Amino acid sequence: MKVVARRPVSRARQIVLTASEWRGLETIAYSRTAAYQLVVRARIVLDAGDGHSNNAIAARRGVVVDTVRLWRGRYADHGLGGLIDRPRSGRPPRFTPLQRTQVKALACGLPAETGVPLSRWSSSDLAAEAVKSGIAESISSSTIRRILSGAALEPWQFQSWIFIRDPDFAAKAALVLDLYHRIWEGQPLAEDEYVISSDEKTSIQARCRCHPSLPPGLSRMMRVNHEYDRRGALSYLAAYDVARARVTGHCAAETGIAPFMALVENVMTSEPYA
């Protein structure tokens, strides 16, 4: 006679919900902002509280029986907190805290301090220097950016400044700033008085392409010829009406008093400045 050993039948964990637990689970189960996985888990527990079997719950919720058994048991042991994913270890960090600190310290220094002929760092330059200095055997520019973003470091950006050496700068600047507010010698300007600011842009390259550009067509992008003819350089002089945001321009082959006086004449002979 052959004796067959039977595997013990696992019984589903009994779920008994109080009124407050029921309301909390229903809030999650019918939430429109909660994560989908959390909604499904809450509905599994509610079905278990109604007395449904694991097989019936799996069929109702479109999951496998093991999933029902897992979250039913988690709730029985830990309550509502058991429905949240447990922290995972993930992939171990590739770079040590010391290496990350060394990368940040490198980014906080000037390139000239390490003998690199650059005015400022880029992420690729920092990655190359980190390998060269022995901080890491290999490191990518994207990893450099991630390390520096955690410390809000952006060494590829810069802001320039200038030292003021004129001891009378404040008095001189006050006159200009008052004019921008239409004030002269403490008195507001009249309606027929204007503030004009002028400047020039020199050495503007006048170039003409040797062949005309071709428009885009079916399955073809626009084509632009690479060769061009140089037609010399021009200077652009502009007068800006500060209060009315109006620009009067003048082009000239060279700079000097003659082109500037031509700009002044152009402004002074047009309305409303005439």
On whether the CB atoms of residues 204 and 236 are closer than 8 A, the answer is yes
Vertex 265 angle, CA 259 and 270, to 5°: 135
Residue 143 has pLDDT above 90, yes or no: yes
Q: What is the DSSP string of 207-229?
A: EEESSPPBPPBTTB--B--S-EE
Q: What is the mean pLDDT of residues 201-207?
A: 86
Alpha carbon of 78 to those of 12, 81, 84, 197, 267: distances in Å?
A: 16, 6, 10, 74, 82
Q: State yes or no: pLDDT of 1 exceeds 80.
A: no
Ramachandran region, residue 35 (left: φ > 0; alpha: ψ -120 to 50; beta: rest): beta
* Listed range (9-13, 113-117, 234-238, 263-267) with the worst mean pLDDT: 9-13
**Is pLDDT above 90 for 233?**
no
Task: State pTM to two decimals.
Answer: 0.42
What number of CA atoms fall less than 13 Å from residue 174's CA on the CB side? 6
**Straight-line distance from the first to the last Cα atom of the chain, in angstroms, rounded to the nearest whole number:** 124
Q: Kindly indicate the confidence band of residue 230, based on its pLDDT and cuts at 50, 70 and 90.
A: confident
Distances (CA, A) of 55 to 10, 11, 150, 176, 239: 13, 12, 48, 84, 83
Judge whether residue 3 has pLDDT over 70: no
Structure-token pair, residue 134: 């022995």
* Phi, then psi, of 230 in degrees rounded to 5: -85, 130
C-alpha atoms less than 13 angstroms from C-alpha of 265 in its C-beta half-sphere:
6
- Per residue in 165-179, pLDDT tens? 999 999 999 999 999
Residue with more model confidence, 98 or 209: 98
Cα 168 to its chain centre, rounded Å, is: 42
Q: Is the pLDDT of residue 193 over 80?
A: yes
With bands split at pLDDT 50, 70 and 90, how would you rate the model's confidence at 61? very high
Interval 13-34: pLDDT, tens: 888 899 999 999 999 999 988 8
Query: Helices marked H in the chain — which ranges?
Result: 19-29, 36-49, 54-61, 65-78, 97-107, 123-132, 141-149, 169-180, 257-268
Q: What is the mean pLDDT of residues 195-211?
A: 88
Percent of the chain with pLDDT over 70: 96
